[in-house]
A and B are shown apart, each in its own frame.
Chain A
Amino acid sequence: MVEQTLRYRDDEPVGDPAVTVDAFAEQSNATAVRIEPGDDARALLPHLDRIALVEVNFPAYTEGRGYSAARILREHGYAGELRAVGDVLVDQLSHMRRCGFDSFAPEQDISREAADKAFATWPEVYQKTVDGRPAIWAKRHG
């Protein structure tokens, strides 16, 4: 449900239903796609300019492939909405955002206050990822 989605973007949400990766390749007018854990995110790379929303499904919180899928899309320049859906826990939001997610539709509601607190927990990070935050090593060496 859109109203339960935590969005950290200024543009309008996409109304189109997300189609599967397989279906997306055949539908030239689709703008929203849903990645399941076994899908190869790189299959979307030729089409990034026409995608406005990518949903990445986390059927269980232990499912970690979506983190790599998100980073790969961002590393290749995807600028549309990247939404984590499914078993998404508050303690995972920070890592997900660092991997490029900018919206979250958890099965179990997370309040915006709780989400904001989670994002604010770690003021510094050790790694450079795709979220634009400078790694600690970059700060150390100006």
Chain B
Amino acid sequence: MKIITGNELRTGDVIWWAGEGWSRHVNDAVDVPEGAEAIIARENAKQIVTDTHVIDATQTPEGVRPAHIKDRIRALGPTVRLDLSLKPADPTAGNWVI
């Protein structure tokens, strides 16, 4: 699947295109098989997101899994500070990125 990611302009938070708006959780990301460029252009024009781009991902039983390790780390947070990640209660969360 193709998903769109970027950062919120004001905060820098990692965000994912969820169909009608942006989410901070990668599992909310929706497949955008076509028309991604139009969405990016429209959203960029609102001047509330930045560094928007399309990446590859797969839908797994556990949720959306970006294809590249860099995007998985973006989705989770730093693996060496899981207390600051999206899964602070899961000490094995770092295994997901590998």
> CB–CB under 8 A between A and B in the complex?
no
Q: Which residues of B contact A (CB under 8 A)?
A: none
